[in-house]
Amino acid sequence: MIKNLMLRGLPALTLTVLPLLTAAPAAHSAPAQTRVATAAEPAGVRAPPPLFAAIDQLPVAAEHREGYKRDLYKHWNKGLNAGDGCDTRKEVILTEAVEAPQVAAGCKLTGGSWRSAYDDVV
């Protein structure tokens, strides 16, 4: 059995480990050069805007919740403490709260406040 394992496993192990042990080509070892913009660049090429400026450029549409049913997403588990009634979603809500919401029986959440990562507003 050991002999069969060695005969089958050693080549597979060699093929797995060998690429990790070989040196990278010299072309990849040189540091990347910084691109410098020139006047010869074609019109319309511009640097990307900062995050908040880019978000401000996004169109705002009316909310449509048709077709969304939370029950379709069965991956919410029982959370860290299955006895408290808080699933993963509610635990994240509690963890990320700036001002913690009230937690009632069955982990029913009311109140609280959160900071928006998109516009930095609470």
Q: Using CA atoms, how far apart are residues 79 and 88, in angstroms rounded to an integer?
A: 5
The residue with greater pLDDT, 1 or 106, is 106
Both tokens of 46, joined, read 């511009």
Task: Say if residues 120 and 55 touch (Cβ distance below 8 Å).
Answer: no
Tokens of 68: 């969304």
Q: What are phi and psi of 19, to 5 degrees?
A: -60, -30
| pLDDT higher than threshold 80 for residue 14 | no
- Report which secondary-structure segment, H or E, holds 88: helix 88-95
Structure tokens at 3: 């002999």
Average pLDDT over residues 92-119: 93
Write down the pLDDT at residue 39: 58
Task: Please report, rounded to a whole number, the percentage of residues in the chain having pLDDT higher than 70.
Answer: 63
Could you tell me the pLDDT band of residue 30, with boundaries at 50, 70 and 90?
A: very low
- Tell me: the pLDDT tens digits for 52-102? 888 889 999 998 888 888 778 777 677 888 788 898 889 999 999 999 999
Q: How far is the C-alpha of 113 from the C-alpha of 109, rounded, in Å?
A: 11
Give the integer Cα–Cα distance in Å for 79 and 92.
10
Instruction: State the amino acid at position 29 in one-letter form.
Output: S
